[in-house]
Amino acid sequence: MATDAPPPSKSEHRLLSTEEFVEVQESAEFGELRRSYRSFAFPLTVAFIAWYLLYVLLSNYAGDFMGTKLFGNINVAFVFGVAQFVTTFLIAWWYSRHAAAKLDPKAEAIKSRMEGGA
């Protein structure tokens, strides 16, 4: 029976103590990793929620504006709705690039130091 699980590791991993985890969590390096994540994720989350709420509020209270035809049967509401999907994918792509460039190397360094016992 085939599974998608990776094969077990050949090297032995020692179990880390709670104190070791707390020490890493309190380190400046981990603090920088957390700041890098928060400085990217929080502002984008707030901006996207504001953009989404604007769309919902305009849909509810500015029906004439949202019903304005731009070309053919395409109106402002449709364009804003499609833009919601586009911005969702753009944010996901942007976060992926940010994580690969800034977060993953820092996280990998912390992980390898913990696993290596350095």
Tens digits of pLDDT across the chain (118 residues)? 556 766 656 666 677 788 888 888 899 999 999 999 999 999 999 999 999 999 999 999 999 999 999 999 999 999 999 999 999 999 999 999 999 999 999 999 998 888 875 5
| 32: CB partners within 8 A, 6+ apart | 106
